[in-house]
Amino acid sequence: MRIDILTVLPEMIEGFFNCSIMARAQKKGLAEIVIHNIRDYTTDKHHKTDDYPFGGSAGMVMKIEPIDRLISELRSQRSYDEVIFTSPDGEKFNQRMANNLSLCGNLIILCGHFKGIDYRIREHLITKEISIGDYVLTGGELAAAAIADAVVRIIPGVLNDEQSALDDSFQDGLLDHPVYTRPADYKGWRVPDILLSGNEALIREWELNQQIERTKRLRPDLISD
Protein backbone atom coordinates (compact mmCIF):
# COMPACT_ATOMS: atom_id res chain seq x y z
CA MET A 1 0.00 0.00 0.00
CA ARG A 2 1.09 3.56 -0.62
CA ILE A 3 0.39 6.53 1.67
CA ASP A 4 1.14 10.06 0.49
CA ILE A 5 1.32 12.59 3.33
CA LEU A 6 0.92 16.27 2.41
CA THR A 7 2.39 18.75 4.89
CA VAL A 8 4.13 22.10 5.26
CA LEU A 9 6.48 20.52 7.82
CA PRO A 10 7.87 17.24 6.37
CA GLU A 11 10.74 17.25 8.88
CA MET A 12 8.23 16.86 11.70
CA ILE A 13 7.41 13.29 10.65
CA GLU A 14 10.20 12.08 8.36
CA GLY A 15 12.16 10.72 11.32
CA PHE A 16 9.11 8.87 12.58
CA PHE A 17 8.70 6.87 9.38
CA ASN A 18 12.43 6.10 9.23
CA CYS A 19 12.33 4.23 12.54
CA SER A 20 11.54 0.76 13.74
CA ILE A 21 8.49 -1.06 12.37
CA MET A 22 7.48 1.73 9.94
CA ALA A 23 10.98 1.67 8.40
CA ARG A 24 10.95 -2.12 8.23
CA ALA A 25 7.53 -2.20 6.54
CA GLN A 26 8.90 0.08 3.83
CA LYS A 27 12.14 -1.90 3.42
CA LYS A 28 10.10 -5.08 3.02
CA GLY A 29 8.07 -3.34 0.30
CA LEU A 30 4.81 -3.75 2.24
CA ALA A 31 4.19 -0.02 2.56
CA GLU A 32 5.43 3.04 0.76
CA ILE A 33 5.19 6.30 2.70
CA VAL A 34 5.84 9.40 0.59
CA ILE A 35 5.98 12.75 2.37
CA HIS A 36 5.38 15.84 0.21
CA ASN A 37 6.14 19.44 1.06
CA ILE A 38 3.11 21.55 0.10
CA ARG A 39 5.46 24.55 -0.15
CA ASP A 40 7.06 22.97 -3.24
CA TYR A 41 3.75 23.48 -5.05
CA THR A 42 3.53 27.25 -4.53
CA THR A 43 4.23 29.52 -7.51
CA ASP A 44 4.74 32.92 -5.82
CA LYS A 45 8.20 34.11 -4.91
CA HIS A 46 7.59 33.93 -1.15
CA HIS A 47 6.26 30.35 -1.36
CA LYS A 48 3.19 31.26 0.65
CA THR A 49 1.07 28.36 1.83
CA ASP A 50 -1.27 30.42 4.03
CA ASP A 51 -3.14 33.71 3.94
CA TYR A 52 -5.46 35.90 6.03
CA PRO A 53 -9.01 34.62 6.46
CA PHE A 54 -11.87 36.35 4.67
CA GLY A 55 -14.08 38.04 7.25
CA GLY A 56 -11.19 39.15 9.40
CA SER A 57 -11.18 36.48 12.11
CA ALA A 58 -7.96 35.50 13.88
CA GLY A 59 -5.39 33.01 12.56
CA MET A 60 -4.06 32.09 9.13
CA VAL A 61 -5.71 29.77 6.64
CA MET A 62 -3.97 27.32 4.29
CA LYS A 63 -4.39 28.32 0.65
CA ILE A 64 -6.14 26.19 -1.97
CA GLU A 65 -3.77 26.44 -4.96
CA PRO A 66 -0.67 24.52 -3.79
CA ILE A 67 -2.79 21.78 -2.18
CA ASP A 68 -4.97 21.42 -5.29
CA ARG A 69 -1.87 21.30 -7.53
CA LEU A 70 -0.26 18.61 -5.38
CA ILE A 71 -3.40 16.46 -5.09
CA SER A 72 -4.09 16.81 -8.85
CA GLU A 73 -0.54 15.73 -9.67
CA LEU A 74 -0.82 12.67 -7.43
CA ARG A 75 -4.24 11.76 -8.82
CA SER A 76 -2.92 11.99 -12.37
CA GLN A 77 -0.33 9.33 -11.49
CA ARG A 78 -2.56 6.74 -9.77
CA SER A 79 -6.05 6.40 -8.34
CA TYR A 80 -6.59 6.91 -4.63
CA ASP A 81 -9.07 5.09 -2.40
CA GLU A 82 -9.39 8.05 -0.05
CA VAL A 83 -8.13 11.61 0.23
CA ILE A 84 -8.09 12.09 3.99
CA PHE A 85 -7.98 15.38 5.88
CA THR A 86 -6.88 15.33 9.51
CA SER A 87 -9.27 17.50 11.49
CA PRO A 88 -10.56 17.73 15.07
CA ASP A 89 -14.14 17.80 13.72
CA GLY A 90 -13.65 14.63 11.62
CA GLU A 91 -14.84 11.10 12.35
CA LYS A 92 -13.10 9.79 15.48
CA PHE A 93 -10.30 7.38 14.52
CA ASN A 94 -10.53 3.84 15.86
CA GLN A 95 -9.29 0.31 15.16
CA ARG A 96 -12.21 -0.48 12.85
CA MET A 97 -11.27 2.47 10.62
CA ALA A 98 -7.60 1.43 10.70
CA ASN A 99 -8.60 -2.10 9.63
CA ASN A 100 -10.70 -0.78 6.73
CA LEU A 101 -8.01 1.65 5.56
CA SER A 102 -5.35 -1.06 5.67
CA LEU A 103 -7.23 -2.82 2.86
CA CYS A 104 -6.77 0.21 0.57
CA GLY A 105 -4.16 0.46 -2.17
CA ASN A 106 -3.39 4.19 -2.15
CA LEU A 107 -4.21 6.88 0.40
CA ILE A 108 -3.53 10.59 0.62
CA ILE A 109 -3.42 12.21 4.07
CA LEU A 110 -3.48 16.02 4.17
CA CYS A 111 -2.16 17.73 7.29
CA GLY A 112 -3.77 21.04 8.21
CA HIS A 113 -1.96 23.83 9.99
CA PHE A 114 -2.64 27.25 11.50
CA LYS A 115 -6.39 27.94 11.76
CA GLY A 116 -7.14 25.18 9.25
CA ILE A 117 -7.51 24.90 5.47
CA ASP A 118 -9.68 26.82 3.01
CA TYR A 119 -13.03 25.05 3.36
CA ARG A 120 -13.38 24.59 -0.40
CA ILE A 121 -10.58 22.01 -0.26
CA ARG A 122 -12.70 19.99 2.16
CA GLU A 123 -15.79 20.40 -0.02
CA HIS A 124 -14.18 19.50 -3.34
CA LEU A 125 -11.04 17.43 -2.81
CA ILE A 126 -11.36 15.55 0.48
CA THR A 127 -13.23 12.23 0.68
CA LYS A 128 -12.77 11.48 4.39
CA GLU A 129 -12.09 13.57 7.50
CA ILE A 130 -10.48 11.97 10.53
CA SER A 131 -9.89 13.22 14.08
CA ILE A 132 -7.54 11.41 16.44
CA GLY A 133 -9.36 12.71 19.53
CA ASP A 134 -11.24 15.56 21.11
CA TYR A 135 -8.32 17.94 21.53
CA VAL A 136 -6.64 20.42 19.19
CA LEU A 137 -3.07 19.96 17.94
CA THR A 138 -0.96 22.65 16.25
CA GLY A 139 -0.91 20.63 13.02
CA GLY A 140 -2.11 17.43 11.40
CA GLU A 141 1.32 15.77 11.26
CA LEU A 142 1.01 13.80 14.48
CA ALA A 143 -2.50 12.77 13.47
CA ALA A 144 -1.26 11.62 10.04
CA ALA A 145 1.57 9.71 11.69
CA ALA A 146 -0.83 8.05 14.14
CA ILE A 147 -3.25 7.06 11.35
CA ALA A 148 -0.51 5.75 9.04
CA ASP A 149 1.15 3.83 11.89
CA ALA A 150 -2.09 2.10 12.94
CA VAL A 151 -2.92 1.27 9.30
CA VAL A 152 0.53 0.00 8.25
CA ARG A 153 1.05 -1.98 11.46
CA ILE A 154 -1.77 -4.39 10.59
CA ILE A 155 -0.75 -5.08 7.00
CA PRO A 156 0.05 -8.81 6.98
CA GLY A 157 3.81 -9.33 7.26
CA VAL A 158 4.60 -5.99 8.89
CA LEU A 159 4.75 -7.36 12.42
CA ASN A 160 6.99 -10.37 12.92
CA ASP A 161 4.33 -12.30 14.76
CA GLU A 162 1.13 -11.52 12.87
CA GLN A 163 -1.00 -13.04 15.56
CA SER A 164 0.19 -10.41 17.99
CA ALA A 165 -1.75 -7.74 16.07
CA LEU A 166 -4.94 -9.77 16.02
CA ASP A 167 -5.30 -10.10 19.77
CA ASP A 168 -4.30 -6.56 20.63
CA SER A 169 -6.76 -4.27 22.37
CA PHE A 170 -9.88 -3.44 20.29
CA GLN A 171 -9.31 -6.06 17.56
CA ASP A 172 -11.68 -8.52 19.18
CA GLY A 173 -13.75 -5.94 21.05
CA LEU A 174 -11.73 -6.51 24.21
CA LEU A 175 -8.78 -4.82 25.85
CA ASP A 176 -5.56 -6.84 25.97
CA HIS A 177 -4.62 -8.95 29.00
CA PRO A 178 -1.58 -8.07 31.18
CA VAL A 179 1.81 -9.36 29.98
CA TYR A 180 4.99 -10.09 31.96
CA THR A 181 8.59 -11.12 31.30
CA ARG A 182 11.56 -12.27 33.37
CA PRO A 183 12.39 -12.10 36.23
CA ALA A 184 9.36 -13.89 37.69
CA ASP A 185 10.00 -12.19 41.01
CA TYR A 186 11.29 -8.62 41.15
CA LYS A 187 11.60 -7.11 44.64
CA GLY A 188 8.78 -9.43 45.70
CA TRP A 189 6.51 -8.23 42.83
CA ARG A 190 5.47 -11.59 41.49
CA VAL A 191 4.19 -12.70 38.10
CA PRO A 192 0.79 -14.50 38.49
CA ASP A 193 1.50 -18.17 39.31
CA ILE A 194 -0.74 -19.42 36.50
CA LEU A 195 1.66 -18.02 33.86
CA LEU A 196 4.46 -20.15 35.30
CA SER A 197 2.33 -23.31 35.47
CA GLY A 198 3.05 -24.50 31.93
CA ASN A 199 -0.64 -25.39 31.50
CA GLU A 200 -1.47 -23.85 28.08
CA ALA A 201 -5.24 -24.28 28.34
CA LEU A 202 -5.49 -22.71 31.78
CA ILE A 203 -3.19 -19.87 30.74
CA ARG A 204 -5.35 -19.05 27.65
CA GLU A 205 -8.46 -19.15 29.88
CA TRP A 206 -6.81 -16.82 32.41
CA GLU A 207 -5.86 -14.40 29.62
CA LEU A 208 -9.40 -14.32 28.25
CA ASN A 209 -10.86 -13.79 31.71
CA GLN A 210 -8.42 -10.93 32.25
CA GLN A 211 -9.47 -9.38 28.94
CA ILE A 212 -13.15 -9.56 29.88
CA GLU A 213 -12.60 -8.30 33.43
CA ARG A 214 -10.38 -5.39 32.34
CA THR A 215 -12.75 -4.37 29.53
CA LYS A 216 -15.77 -4.39 31.89
CA ARG A 217 -13.86 -2.34 34.44
CA LEU A 218 -11.92 0.08 32.22
CA ARG A 219 -14.04 0.35 29.05
CA PRO A 220 -17.60 -0.82 29.76
CA ASP A 221 -18.66 1.07 26.59
CA LEU A 222 -16.93 -1.61 24.47
CA ILE A 223 -19.11 -4.40 25.87
CA SER A 224 -22.44 -4.52 24.10
CA ASP A 225 -24.47 -7.04 26.07
**Interface contacts to ligand SAH, rule CB under 6 A:** 86-89, 111-113, 115-116, 131-133, 135-137, 139-140, 143
Minimum Å distance from CB 85 to ligand SAH?
A: 7
Amino acid at 185: D
Partnered with residue 83 across adjacent β-strands are 108
Q: Whole-number minimum distance, CB 88 to ligand SAH, in Å?
A: 4
> Which residue, 1 or 144, is less far from ligand SAH as judged by CB?
144
- Report, in Å, the least distance between residue 211 CB and ligand SAH: 28
| End-to-end C-alpha distance for the chain, whole angstroms | 36
Q: Which is nearer to ligand SAH, 6 or 22 (CB)?
A: 6
Choice between 109 and 154, CB closer to ligand SAH:
109
Question: What is the rounded distance in angstroms from the CA atom of residue 151 to the CA atom of residue 103?
Answer: 9
Chain centroid, CA 140 distance in Å: 11
Comparison of 90 and 194: residue with beta carbon closer to ligand SAH:
90
Q: How far is the CB of 19 from ligand SAH (least distance, A)?
A: 21
- Count of Cβ atoms closer than 10 Å to residue 137 Cβ: 16
- Rounded Cα distance between 86 and 3, Å, is 14
Report the C-alpha gap between 164 and 169 in whole angstroms.
10
Q: Measured at CB, which residue is nearest to ligand SAH?
A: 112
